[in-house]
Amino acid sequence: LKTSSTVNLISGFFVISPQKSAKMRLRLAGAVLLSAAAYYVYLPLPSGVSEPWKLMLLDALFRSFMQASDVAHTLGVCHRVHLLNRIVSWVEEIEARSCTAVHVADSTLGGVPTRVFQPKGGKQLKRGVIYFHGGGWVLGSGRMRSYDLLCRKMAEELDSVIMSVDYRLAPEAVFPDQYHDALAASRAFLSAQVLERYSIDPERVCVSGDSAGGNLAAAVAQELSSDDSLTAKFKVQALIYPVLQALDFYTPSYQQNRAVPILYRPVMARFWLQYLGADMSLEPLLLANNHSSLDQPAISGSTRSKLDWTALLPAERKKHFRPVVKETGSPGVMGKVPQLMDVRAAPLLAEQGVLGRTPKAYVMTCEFDVLRDDGLMYVRRLQSAGVAVTSDHYEDGFHGCMVFAYLPMMSSVGQRSMNNYIHWLDQNL
């Protein structure tokens, strides 16, 4: 009896009701899905990155969008860039809405769509900033929530008129279309009619932009600073982690941050090829520096010196990295993509005399960004040309961090960099 009771007790203990079994299966499925999600999101990051889990989540979101776009492209549904832009627009774009402090309206500037932010009240004559958004010349819009919030904050805190330009994007538009849009909008911005219409002080105007927009801002600053026909010229240029060259994909920052989100090394090469209207099959050649090998007759010693990071970067950025310069490469690349040498696409290649005529500069760079050294080399070249430059470097920063200063992806370095950028403009514009 004693043995029988024990067996019955044990058997009863292991009997699981259908309801409990279903709950256990759900919990197990949830644990598996959670583990899979954690595996997808988790990415080993350098220890110094600001708030790494936020960056991982942001990267996972971007990777999901890009992978969905690649699938759609492969299936022939649409171009990968079109789907990616539709997703970004659906998530981020907002209408022009005024508030108690700032009047916001969509307009055009030199025939280019532009969102205008005008502070209400304040001084009669305002400061003026023309801004070019980032996105690798293929993505984004000044109508995105992140840029809308940035420009509102600038308008209010600087008592400044901000004009955020929606230049054309690849693949429909390729270089020099984006540059021409930026130039046309800037010329219109500096015109007497526009300055008068918006009560902008012609002595206090700035050209600015981030990433690909920083590229356009630098190129526009170079062109217009040498144009003696203009009655008004930019007082300052403010470049936020700008992309400035495509001849060397092995700078220390490209080597150090090749796998750091949100801008991976291959993605930047892809952006360049799309911007320049080149064959995407050239990507491996660019990533191997085959396009800038020593046997390329189009690249002179003078050109190479303008992006010689062994001479232009401080020791703490060079670290243990070594240049990757091929003796022999792919000789046909420069013939297929001569735009790689065009200073309007690669402002770092500008002559010293051109740089010396550009206005006082602010250049933001981030330690964990493949484009870090583009910005730092430009700082050094501007300084050598006699231009006053403020180099604002963020040791815990990553590419794109400044526009993540608001919820839901609000980051500490995003808030700090945005506030310091606006403070610099306040002190120098």
Q: Which of 418, 395, 414 is nearest to 404 (CA)?
A: 414
Q: What are phi and psi of 139, to 5 degrees?
A: -125, 165
Q: Which member of 50, 186, 211, 411 is catalytic?
A: 211
pLDDT at position 43 over 70: yes
pLDDT at position 159 over 70: yes
Instruction: List the 160-165 sheet strands across, edge first.
Output: 102-109, 112-119, 160-165, 126-132, 200-210, 236-240, 360-368, 389-398
Q: State the chain's mean pLDDT as an integer.
A: 91
**How far apart are alpha carbons 304 and 325 in whole angstroms?**
11
Clarify whether 103 is annotated catalytic. no
Of the pLDDT bands very low, low, confident and very high (cuts 50, 70, 90), residue 231 is very high
Whether residue 298 lies inside any domain: the answer is yes
3-state secondary structure of 113: strand
Whether residue 334 lies inside any domain: the answer is yes
Q: What is the pLDDT, as a whole number, of residue 381?
A: 98
Whether residue 38 lies inside any domain: the answer is no
CATH number (domain holding residue 422): 3.40.50.1820
Kind and range of the H or E element at 132?
strand 126-132
Q: Would you report the helix, strand and coil content of the chain in percent, each value rounded to 5?
A: 50, 15, 35
Q: Which member of 50, 146, 399, 411 is catalytic?
A: 399
Q: What is the pLDDT, as a whole number, of residue 406?
A: 85
Which residues make beta-bridge pairs with 148?
Answer: none
Q: Are 358 and 382 in contact (CB under 8 A)?
A: yes
Clarify whether 201 is annotated catalytic. no
Of the pLDDT bands very low, low, confident and very high (cuts 50, 70, 90), residue 14 is very low
Whether residue 380 lies inside any domain: the answer is yes
Packing angle of the helix pair 145-158, 412-428 (nearest 10 deg): 40
Whether residue 3 lies inside any domain: the answer is no
Domain that holds residue 236: 47-429
Read off the pLDDT of each residue in 313-341 and give the average, rounded to a whole number: 93
Whether residue 126 lies inside any domain: the answer is yes
Clarify whether 211 is annotated catalytic. yes
Alpha helices in 257-371, H assignment, sequence order: 265-275, 283-287, 301-305, 309-312, 315-318, 333-336, 352-356
Q: Which member of 369, 373, 392, 396 is catalytic?
A: 369
Q: Which of 201, 313, 307, 173 is nearest to 247 (CA)?
A: 307
pLDDT at position 42 over 90: no
Q: What is the pLDDT, as a whole number, of residue 180?
A: 98
Residue 21 has which token pair? 């079994």
Tell me the pLDDT tens digit for each residue of 261-288. 999 999 999 999 999 999 999 999 999 9
Whether residue 311 lies inside any domain: the answer is yes
Tell me the pLDDT tens digit for each residue of 186-205. 999 999 999 999 999 999 99
122: left (phi over 0), alpha (psi -120 to 50) or beta: left
| Tally of domains within the chain | 1
Whether residue 156 lies inside any domain: the answer is yes
